[in-house]
Amino acid sequence: MKLSLCNEVLGDMPFPEQCAMAASLGYDGIELAPFTVVDGPREMTAKQIAMVRLAAADAGIAKMGGVSARPACSK
């Protein structure tokens, strides 16, 4: 079984740091809540997508999926 952490639980920490934190805690991967980067998943630029992939790879964890729903309590 592989475990992943949703990045939104790490708050405003930059995504590369979130990946490093998830790896240091023993997670196998990280899930991206796109609204932590942009307003909607279809609004991510190629540069942002590349940053997400590189950050996960640099931390040695997998990019395991994403959550597209914006919680009612978010900004």
In a domain, 10, yes or no: yes
pLDDT over threshold 70, residue 71: no
In a domain, 75, yes or no: no
Work out the average pLDDT over 52-64: 94
Q: How much of the chain exceeds pLDDT 70, in percent?
A: 87
Band of pLDDT at residue 75, cut at 50, 70 and 90 = very low
- Look up the domain containing 11 and give its range: 4-66
In a domain, 72, yes or no: no
In a domain, 31, yes or no: yes
In a domain, 73, yes or no: no
Burial letters 35-65, b for 16+ CB under 10 A, else e: bbbeeeeeebeeeeeebbeebbeebebebbe
Band of pLDDT at residue 68, cut at 50, 70 and 90 = low
In a domain, 74, yes or no: no
Number of domains in the chain: 1
